[in-house]
Amino acid sequence: MAIERKRELRRRRCRRAKIQALRERLAKTTEKAGPANARMADATGAPARLWPGKIVGFGQYHYRYDSGREGDAILVGFSPRKPAFSIYLACLYSETEQAETEDLLSKLGAHDMGKGCLYVKRLSDVNETVLARLITLSVASLRRRYPEQVAGARG
């Protein structure tokens, strides 16, 4: 009995240490994002949360494709990777947002754009106001597309 009790206490201490390490990593990562971190929190109304792949995400939604595939994803997020700071945006190329998105991207500054990811070398290289608008546009688009599935965000 005493051995089982010691093992359980050791497991609890280990879990607490892991949770504390995750909290510290989240604080350090969100500090790197500076103003982008605040913009994402404001746009979603949700706190930062660590997701797999060292991604800091704000809010989430549940998606379901016609093929039957479904899952949960972040509304917006970022990851400070070595080659470039990755900002995860979605739904920026729907018909309603396409023209505005292209106009904003032309004013953003030095960046590369993937399918749903914006890559910047340094956040100081981009126009902060334009980035804030892109974040807001992405969140609004997801809220329209998945109105019932958006969680952890104000409507």
Quick check: is 11 in a domain? no
Considering its fold, how many domains does the chain have in total? Answer: 1
pLDDT of residue 16: 73
2-29 as b/e: b if 16+ CB within 10 A:
eeeeeeeeeeeeeeeeeeeeeeeeeeeb
Nearest of 100, 138, 103, 98 to residue 118 by alpha carbon: 138
Residue with tokens 């100081």: 124
Selection from 19, 122, 24, 68 nearest residue 131 by Cα: 122
pLDDT in tens, 79-129: 888 888 888 987 666 677 778 888 888 999 999 988 888 898 888 888 988
Residue-range definition of the domain harbouring residue 146: 33-151
Q: Is 18 within the bounds of a domain?
A: no
Residue 106's domain is classified under what CATH number? 3.90.1150
